[in-house]
Chains A and B, each alone.
Chain A
């Protein structure tokens, strides 16, 4: 699969702070997806992006599909303790359906 670089690897923030994480790829993707995984659970889809430049929100979450189609970011505003978890980006290229995942960003939020 194609390599996705996700950063930061981990974040430790206070409740109420905003969070930003991003993914970059050496290849062009047609789709970017952002997932959250809680311990002992499967990843849950947060936001899906399908067009370059697209900016999509889901509550306090906002994600954008980069213009170059090689990157995406996820912002979380006004973080709360239940935002704790591991966030994964995933990209889908044109040659097949398989998703390529980033290594994840571990988010810790202190009250």
Chain B
């Protein structure tokens, strides 16, 4: 069965600094990978997704992620963080054949002034 690990429970970044959130997956074949963001008290919003092709994926709000098969990773990056980026971020993998997602436990991003 597939699994997702997000090693960092919390990360604090200064506003304007760069960000990288880590995600490692376990899946036998080529995975479909996703990053979602959840603002406090809200549902989940899709930031970006990887299916195939170019391993660097661009998403909304200035985020990007790079798929590295050799490292089983799909890390999320942003060059300059804004205070409004403070939220919880979830990495997910789809691979069951029924379009179900397996989520990581999430990384809470705090942005300091």
Report whether chain A binds chain B: no
Q: Which residues of A contact B (CB under 8 A)?
A: none
